[in-house]
Amino acid sequence: MEFTRISNLEIALGILALVSYFYLGFSVYLRDPKSWTNRLFIIFAFVLGAYTIVNPFSLHPVPPTPESQLFWIRMVIFVASFIGPILFLLVHTFSQKEITLRKKYLFLIFAVILANALASLTPLIFESIAYPQGEPVPKVGRGFLIFVLNFPVMVSLSFGLLVRKHFRAVKEEKTKLFYFLIGIVATFSLMVFLTVVSVAIFKTPIGVFLGPITPVILVSFIAYAIVKHKFLDIQPIIARAVSFLFALILFAAIYAALIVLAVRQFIPIPLNTSALILLFALMLAGILSFQPLERGMRKITDKFFFKGEYDKDELLAHLTRIMAETIDLGELAQKILQVLTAEMKISKGAFLVVDHHSIIAVEEVGFSGSRLQTPELERLYHKDSGSISSFIFEELEEGEIKNVFRRLDIALAVPVRVEKIEVAVLVFGPKRTGERYHSRDIEFLQVLAAEVGIAIQNAKSFSEIKKFSKELEKRVDERTAELQETQERELAKAKEVVRLKDEFVFLAAHELRTPVTAIRGFLELTEESQKKFPRDIQNNLTAIAQASEHLNQLINDLLEIARSEGGVTIVNVGPCQFEPILREVLEETVALIRQKNIVVKIDIKPLPPVLCDPAKLKEALLNLLGNAIKYNKDGGIIDISVWRHPEEPRFIFEIRDTGYGIPKDRQAHIFQKFFRAGTKGTGDVLGTGLGLFITRMLIEKMGGAITFSSVEQEGSTFAFTLPLAEEGTHATRAKS
Amino acid sequence: MKKKLLLLIEDNPLLTGMYETAFVKAGFEVAFAHDGELGLSLAKDKKPDGIILDLLMPGMNGFAVLERLKKDRITKGIKVIVLTVVTKQEDLERAKKLGVVDCLIKPELTLAEIVKRVVALLGF
């Protein structure tokens, strides 16, 4: 009897299938070890793995004897007896965490497995084996019905159930079941084609050895259905494949060896002892070196595909530094998210800033900001325990929140509180590696969340202060502008009032001037004929003349004041000689001086040209000299002295009289408008009370100052200073 | 010798009478108009040797009269003396720019002084 030797292709395919089963099985299982769907999946993968190991032995028995081949064929049936029921159970449980099949059916399934498995080891299913044409043909026993009842029925039932579930399911669940269905259809049709069709129609068992490979398709599809698209992230598969291959091959080898060793209890398989020892030694070395090897490989692959696994402490320090350096909320969130997504290989992330239980701002990297502003995420706060907790998509119960997570592609959410106040929800998308969030990730993110919470709180306060200060600034500006406007308006109003007043005074004074001019003119015309009038009439005419002079002076003074207060008095300052102006004034007043028998003493020191407006200076001098005469006693003295200031470029004019003087208590008011000292003895002196007021105004306008001193009944002294023209430039026309 | 003719344009009848008396006494022949329009036509008709012009008048004021006088070929050569109560510097300057020979301020001068100034300005 010749048995074909096992080919290298067969071995390679077997290893590939085995590695696939282990990889898919573990990947799915580790995503959520508590889920029964995942548990059944890995069991299913292991059963198929066992099938993959046993099947080659049935074609190439070890040892190469008919008994051995029959045994291996029985073993294939033994392993296969598990496939149907477990597939059925998996389909029934699919995507739930708990087993959904009722207990009695569960019991029934176990019974079927047990019966089939036990039967397969006895001649009940395959009695014997014959080689009619050199090809092994096992003789079917009476118990074969059990296998028929088990495998095809269970697979059919699974298929039916799957179709029914698919029809009833909606949305994502429907898609998942659809993948599952494709897997089953593809696998079994291929399996049927390769084994039954090829053997029955093409009369060649060539497809038989390919049989065990086909379930890889099914397993792949189921795995994909369970973990969705995340699973097929191609990058991590490549990245992990190298290191995992080692581990998986080792697992596969151990698994195979255990099966072979178990089988040896029944059939003596000759094994080279030294080879066996070597194998074990290799395995041990492999297992012992697996961890560092795996880590090393991971590091290398990570470095190649990503930028290395993140170092918790380093990352936290980095983020803490960012939080310390950044105070603007948006900038802070963006910086942290960018670092987090890059370092932790998270596809996307967002900070949902919460204020008074609602999301007020969203800072995101990769997410759609507007979609995240949803009240369901605000409600996460009602669900957590009060301290920082996290919500992981896979662990959520089916319901509203899970649906929101699904819809927005959120894998993890961490609501953050600072001193019991809700601050923000940190939201993360799935990892780019397709892995789930490990506990170290979650622990890290929780620690970070506490810090981020405080940083966000600070940033919020900062932005509030900034906003407040901006608002304040704006208001101050507004009010200032308002005030300025009001001020300008009021000022314009006041100016208008002043202008109107001046206009009125001006016009009124002019209206008054005309009749005064007429009175004075006609009096003058009568002058020559006056001598013919009786004495008393002459006296009356003189009184009228005096009164009209006074009236004229009053009007002139009023006009001067109106002009000055309206700002229209123009002082034409320029260099001029002082003495001639004084002489002119004395000439004009000489009649009055003689009338009162007053002695005028003059002491003028030589002066350079002075800076003044001659007309205004004359007016001021007339006022001062007029006062010194009017308020002097008959036969009094007037002392006039003029001299240059010893240090400054100014000169001083002083006029002293021996008149009635000004009482002390009234001295403070003498430069005020309409003020009359009313000193005893001056009752009959005509005055307007405007002379000194105007004098001071004129002197000051020309850049000088006026002072006085007085003793009642002894006399007064007035003095003013004016600048000399010799120094610096001087305005020829200063308007003030 | 022919007496010189003075045209007095002044709206106030009280003052007109007063000035007329004074100027006649000083040896002038005096014509007078109590408003600007009449003053202008009299100036054209009589071609006076001098015009004494008030600035503040109802209707056509002194400036308007002055402008028209200076524009007219016949009257532009006539010497114009302003005699007014106006003391605003800018008004006086404006009048001088328009070509008056002098500005006399009524309240600042006695009648005798005014007559003396007019005689000096017109050349007796």
Distance from CA of A510 to the nearest CA of B (A): 6
Closest chain B CA to residue A550? B107
A183-218, pLDDT tens digit by residue?
Answer: 878 877 777 666 665 555 555 555 555 666 677 777
Determine the Cα–Cα distance for residues A120 and A80; give it in Å rounded to an integer.
Answer: 10
Interval A603-614 mean pLDDT: 88
pLDDT for res A95: 78
pLDDT band at A59 (very low <50, low <70, confident <90, very high): confident
Q: How far is A707 from chain B (nearest CA, A)?
A: 29
In sequence order, what are the residues at sequence separation of 6 or more whose Cβ sits closer than 8 angstroms to the Cβ of residue A160? none
Average pLDDT of the residues in A668-691: 73
The pairing of strands A650-657 and B5-9 is: unpaired
User: What pairing do the DSSP bridges indicate for beta strands B79-84 and B102-105?
Assistant: parallel
What local confidence, expressed as pLDDT, does residue A387 receive? 61
Do B83 and B22 meet the contact criterion of CB atoms below 8 Å apart?
Answer: no
Which three-class secondary structure state does DSSP give residue A71? Answer: helix
Average pLDDT of chain A, as a whole number: 79
Q: What is the mean pLDDT of residues A656-681?
A: 80
CA–CA distance from B57 to each of A145, A173, A521, B35, B107 (Å)? 143, 107, 20, 7, 17
For residue A555, pLDDT beyond 60: yes
Contact between B15 and A525 using a beta-carbon 8 Å cutoff: no
- Calculate the CA dihedral of residues A705, A711, A714, A715 and round it to 10 degrees: 10
Q: Which of A593, A717, A563 is nearest to A653 (CA)?
A: A717
**What residue of A is the nearest CA neighbor of B55?**
A510
Q: When comparing pLDDT for A642 and A51, which is higher?
A: A642
Q: Which helix (H) or strand (E) holds A352?
A: strand A349-355
Specify the pLDDT at position A420.
Answer: 80
pLDDT of residue B97: 87
Overall average pLDDT of the B48-72 stretch = 88
- What was the pLDDT predicted at A522? 87
pLDDT tens digits, residue range A293-320? Answer: 556 655 655 555 444 467 788 888 888 8
Burial of B20 (0-12, 13-18, 19+ CB in 10 A): middle
Looking at per-residue confidence, does A661 or A689 come out higher? A661
Burial class (CB in 10 A: 0-12, 13-18, 19+), B10: buried
pLDDT value of residue A302: 55
Residue A533, pLDDT > 90, answer no
| pLDDT score of A567 | 60
Rounded to two decimals, the pTM is 0.38
How large is the average pLDDT for residues A404-422? Answer: 86
**Taking CB atoms and an 8 Å limit, are A516 and B107 in contact across chains?**
yes
In this predicted structure, the answer to whether residue A728 has a pLDDT above a threshold of 80 is: no
Mean pLDDT of all residues in A477-503: 87
pLDDT at A515: 84
Rounded to whole angstroms, how far apart are CA atoms A520 and A553?
12
The region of weakest confidence among A38-47, A63-72, A265-274, A536-545 is A265-274
Of A510, A514, A521, the CB nearest to B111: A521
What percent of chain A lies above the pLDDT cut of 90?
A: 9
Interface A-B, measured as beta-carbon pairs within 8 A, has a size of: 44
Residue whose C-alpha is closest to residue A144's, from A117, A167, A120, A160:
A120
Give how far B72 is from chain A: nearest CA, Å.
30
* pLDDT tens-digit map of A75-134: 888 888 888 888 889 888 887 888 888 888 889 888 888 888 888 888 887 777 777 777
pLDDT of residue A234: 41
Best A505, A511, A517 member to test B by mutation, with max B CBs in 10 Å, is A517
Q: How many C-beta neighbours within 10 Å does residue A248 have?
A: 20
* Residue A247 pLDDT: 59
Q: Is the pLDDT of residue A248 over 70?
A: no
State how beta strands A137-140 and A349-355 pair: unpaired
Nearest to A524 among B12, B87, B111 (CB): B111
Q: Round the average pLDDT of chain B to a whole number and report it.
A: 86
Contacts A513 to B, Cβ<8 Å: 85, 106-107
The span from the CA of A679 to the CA of A660, in Å, is: 7
Q: Sort out which chain B residues have CB atoms less than 8 A from A521's CB and list them.
A: 15, 18-19, 22, 111
| A449-461 residue pLDDT tens | 888 888 888 888 8
Residue A643: what pLDDT?
93
pLDDT, average across residues B61-90: 86
Whether A290 has a pLDDT exceeding 60, the answer reads: no
Of A506, A517, A570, the CB nearest to B106: A517
Cβ atoms of A521 and B21 within 8 Å: the answer is: no
Angstrom distances, CA of residue A53 to CA of A41, A49, A121, A223: 18, 6, 17, 21
Tokens of A370: 């507007």
- Residue A3 — φ and ψ, nearest 5°? -110, 140
CA distance B69 to chain A (A): 25
With tokens 């009642």, the residue in question is: A712
Residue type, A343: E
Peptide bond before residue A63 is cis, with ω within 30 degrees of 0: yes
Task: Mark yes or no for CB contact B19/A521 under 8 Å.
Answer: yes
Interface list for chain B against chain A, based on CB atoms closer than 8 Å: 12, 14-15, 18-19, 21-22, 56, 85-89, 106-107, 110-112
Are A638 and A628 in contact by the 8 Å Cβ rule? The answer is yes
Task: Flag whether pLDDT at A733 surpasses 50.
Answer: no
Q: Which two tokens stand for residue A723?
A: 């600048």
Query: Which value, to the nearest 10 degrees, does the dihedral of the CA atoms of residues A498, A500, A501, A503 take?
Result: 120
Q: How far apart are CA A563 and CA A205, in angstroms?
A: 131
Q: In what side-by-side order are the strands of the sheet with B102-105?
A: B29-33, B5-9, B50-53, B79-84, B102-105
One-letter amino acid at A332 equals: L
B85:A513 CB<8 A: yes
pLDDT, residue A230, reads: 44
A353 close to A424: Cβ distance less than 8 angstroms: yes
Q: What are phi and psi of A356, to 5 degrees?
A: 50, 50
pLDDT confidence band for A731 (50 / 70 / 90): very low
| pLDDT, tens only, A427-482 | 999 888 767 787 778 888 888 888 888 888 888 888 888 889 999 999 999 999 99
ipTM of the complex in this document? 0.81
CA–CA separation, A441 and A113 (whole Å): 42
Mean pLDDT of A328-347: 88
